[in-house]
Amino acid sequence: MANPRANISRVIIGACFLLGCLMTINGVDCSRVHARRILQQAGETVFDVMNYGAKADGKTDDALAFIKAWKAACGSNGPAKVVINGQFLAGEVVFSGPCANKQTITIEIQGNVSASTDPSAYSHGAWILIQHTSNVEVTGGGTINGHGQDVWEYAGGDTVLPVSLVFQGVANCKMNNLNFVDSMGFHTKVTDSHDVTVFNLTITAPVTSPNTDGLHLSNATNVNVTDSIIGTGDDCVSIGPGNKNVVVSGITCGPGHGISIGSLGKREEETNVEGITIKNCTLTGTTNGARIKTFGHVSPKLNASGIIYQDIVMDRVKNPIIIDQHYSSKGKSEQSSVKISDVHFINIKGSTISPIPVSLDCSATFPCENIELADIDLAPVGSIALKSACANAKTLLKGTQNPAGPATCI
């Protein structure tokens, strides 16, 4: 038998919708009903973490409430939104699929989320992990604070500190309009994924913070990273092995170690890197600018090709253009087995604090080939004289060369 009270409620809600939003019927605020009905018409269901046990007091670990709200959205039908709005503390959060819901799920972080700073609390190498799902967008304008200053002393060696936000094994996902502060490890990471868009991020950590890359990519295909401000203690963007068809554009980088391809050649399972375009970026006060780095030891044989750095502004950058195939192996005789070819440095201008702003240090076993330098115009800060350096590279020089470009050096 139908519940009479439920029937009455449905009648009241129906009357509210028909009569509009400027009245109250039997204690029901029609304006709120009308707004909810419009939301339903848009097809989006809201899953507020506060309805799943979150306290938002900045002291209680609300990770479980986040996960419960996600599971509800993941199992729902139609577009869904997980709302995180308030001051939260959270330990490890895993948003895992695959989801029964094949529509877009938005994770809207409107407030501030702070990490629990006990490294042993993170079993997946990530603080917030989104995995094995598709059509997820993380956004909201909120702040994700890793409080890395409490754990950076443990960085290095075999200790891997958790990444603040990871996309792993996802497709057709977005990350945008978020603020990241003081990650324990990397700030963000996209791995084993395809068709991912990242834009409008602000990422901040001290220049002294260890291994706090702004965004790291590995084994990702069809990724666009645009219009973000990144300043950390490591690479603003690092593009590791296995990446294909990646565009990085409109990045303001500094402080940090620049925008890097690599490091490559450290592990046996690594695969080729190809089709990487980095353009329209500005780097200020970084230790490196446009960099490709591979380990200079007996490494797996792989290729890095189809790489473009174009329309890059350097402001007081130490090493504006650098290929370093002896990364982390200075003084050792081994040569990298990573083959670098079809690389284009085009329209790179600005200032440098280094006497050698263009350095191509390639593998003697697998020399670099087709390294184009076109319209390079770098001025010294102060009265230092500039020159280029080259080892084991076939170069192609076009247009302006300031300093004088390195001739082929094989």
282 has pLDDT over 50: yes
Catalytic residue status for 34: no
Helix (H, G, I), strand (E, B) or coil at 165: strand
In this prediction, residue 410 carries a pLDDT of 83
35 has pLDDT over 90: no
13 and 106 inside one domain: no
Task: State the catalytic residue, choosing from 187, 194, 216, 257.
Answer: 257
109 has pLDDT over 60: yes
CATH of residue 401: 2.160.20.10
Confidence of residue 31 (pLDDT cuts 50, 70, 90): very low
The verdict on residue 225 lying in a domain is no
- Rounded Cα–Cα distance for residues 248 and 226 (Å): 6
Q: What is the pLDDT of residues 247-267, one digit of tens each?
A: 999 999 999 999 999 999 999
Record the pTM.
Answer: 0.89
310 and 294 inside one domain: yes
76 and 58 inside one domain: yes
Instruction: Read off the tokens for 85.
Output: 């709005």
pLDDT (mean) for 61-75: 98
In this prediction, residue 29 carries a pLDDT of 42
Q: What is the CB neighbour count within 10 angstroms for residue 343?
A: 25
Q: Which residue has the tokens 């294909």?
A: 244
359 and 395 inside one domain: yes
261 and 407 inside one domain: yes
Domain count, the chain: 3
In this prediction, residue 331 carries a pLDDT of 61
The verdict on residue 143 lying in a domain is yes
In this prediction, residue 246 carries a pLDDT of 98
The verdict on residue 214 lying in a domain is no
127 and 258 inside one domain: no
193 and 164 inside one domain: yes
The verdict on residue 203 lying in a domain is no
pLDDT (mean) for 336-345: 97
The verdict on residue 220 lying in a domain is no
In this prediction, residue 105 carries a pLDDT of 98
Confidence of residue 328 (pLDDT cuts 50, 70, 90): confident
Confidence of residue 111 (pLDDT cuts 50, 70, 90): very high
- Rounded Cα–Cα distance for residues 60 and 350 (Å): 49
Q: Report the chain's mean pLDDT, rounded to a whole number.
A: 90
Of 91-95, 220-224, 232-236, 292-296, where does mean pLDDT reach its minimum? 292-296
Structural domain of 172: 46-198
Confidence of residue 243 (pLDDT cuts 50, 70, 90): very high
In this prediction, residue 18 carries a pLDDT of 40
In this prediction, residue 21 carries a pLDDT of 39
106 has pLDDT over 90: yes
69 and 35 inside one domain: no
Higher-confidence residue of 360 and 27: namely 360
Amino acid at 260: S
In this prediction, residue 52 carries a pLDDT of 98
pLDDT (mean) for 184-206: 98
Instruction: Read off the tokens for 27.
Output: 């204690």
- Rounded Cα–Cα distance for residues 338 and 392 (Å): 13
Q: What percent of the chain has pLDDT over 70?
A: 88
